[in-house]
Amino acid sequence: MSKNVSSFVSKLEKISDDKSQVYLPSLKKDINVTSLTIKQQKDLISSSLDGLKGAINFSRTLNKVVLDSTNINDLKIYDRLPIVIGLRKDSLGGKIKSGEEKIDLERIIANIKKIPLEIEDKSSVNYKNLKLNLKVPTLKQENILLNKVEQDIDNESEDLKQGVGLLYIVELLKFIVSLEIDDEVIDFSDIRISERMELVEKLPLSIYNEVSAFIEKINDYNNTILSSDDFELSIDSEFFDSSINE
C-alpha cells in the first residue's frame, strides 16, 4: 500500500470512528456507538444470500457489527435490536421503505424507550429427575455457537441441512447451558455441538412448553418494539439498503 493511500485509510478510520448515542433498555441509559461503514453494510447485505447458511451468517454478521460498534462484550441478544435500529438511523437516515410502506424509525425508537424490558436472564425447567438450566445468551456466545453450527453444516451429510429442523434445534441450544440428572451435571460449553444436538433431541417433549416460554419472552419483546400501529418492521439485509429521502 502506497504512503498516500495508507495515510487516507488512517484518516478515514478516524472519521468512521465518530460516535452517536443509542438508548439501551437493559442498561437504562444511552451508550456510544460507532457509525456503520460501507464494508459493514456490504457484509450485511451479502451475508444472507445462501439459504440456511445465509440465515446463520446474517445473524452472526449482525452480532459482530453490534459488538464492533459498541465495544461491549457482554451484550445479550435482547440488546441487539435497539442498537441495530440506532445504527441504521444514524448511518442511513430515519425513514425506510419496507415493501410498499414507508416507516419512520423514530416510532420504533419511541417503542424502545417506553416499552419495559422485563426478561429474566436465567431460569430452569424440572421434569422428573431431569433439570434443564437456561440462560439468555450474549451476542458473543451466540456467535460462537453459530460458527460451530456452520462448520457442522459444511462437514455433515445433507440430512443435517434440513433447514427448519436444524434452526429449531439451534434455537434451543442457544438457551440451554446445562443438564442435570440426579447428581450428574453436564455443561454444554464443555461438549461438542453434535453432542449437544444429540442430547437436546433426546429430551422429553414434555419440557418443551416451559423452554419455549422462556425463549418467547425475548421474541415477544422484539416483536413488540418492532411493531407500531399498522406495521411490523423486519430486520433483514434489505433493512440496510432501503433508505429513502426524508
Report pLDDT for 17: 61
The pLDDT score that the predictor gives to residue 243 is 53
What was the pLDDT predicted at 158?
46
pLDDT digits (tens, 9 = 90+) for 176-191: 999 999 999 999 989 9
Contacts for 94 with CB less than 8 Å, ≥ 6 apart? 104, 105, 106, 246
According to the model, what pLDDT value does residue 10 have?
60
Q: How far apart are CA 35 and CA 66, in angstroms?
A: 10
Cell representation of residue 177: 447451558
Which residues of the chain are modeled with pLDDT < 70? 1-17, 50, 98-99, 152-164, 242-246
For residue 32, the model assigns a pLDDT of: 94
SS3 category, 172:
helix
Instruction: Quote the CA–CA distance of 212 and 172 in Å, as a whole number.
Output: 8
pLDDT digits (tens, 9 = 90+) for 34-65: 988 888 998 998 887 767 778 888 999 999 99
DSSP secondary structure letters along 76-109: BGGGHHHHHHHHHHHHH-SEEEETTEEEEHHHHH
pLDDT of residue 212: 95
Q: What percent of the chain clears pLDDT 90, i.e. is strictly above it?
A: 57
Cα Rg, the chain, nearest whole Å: 20
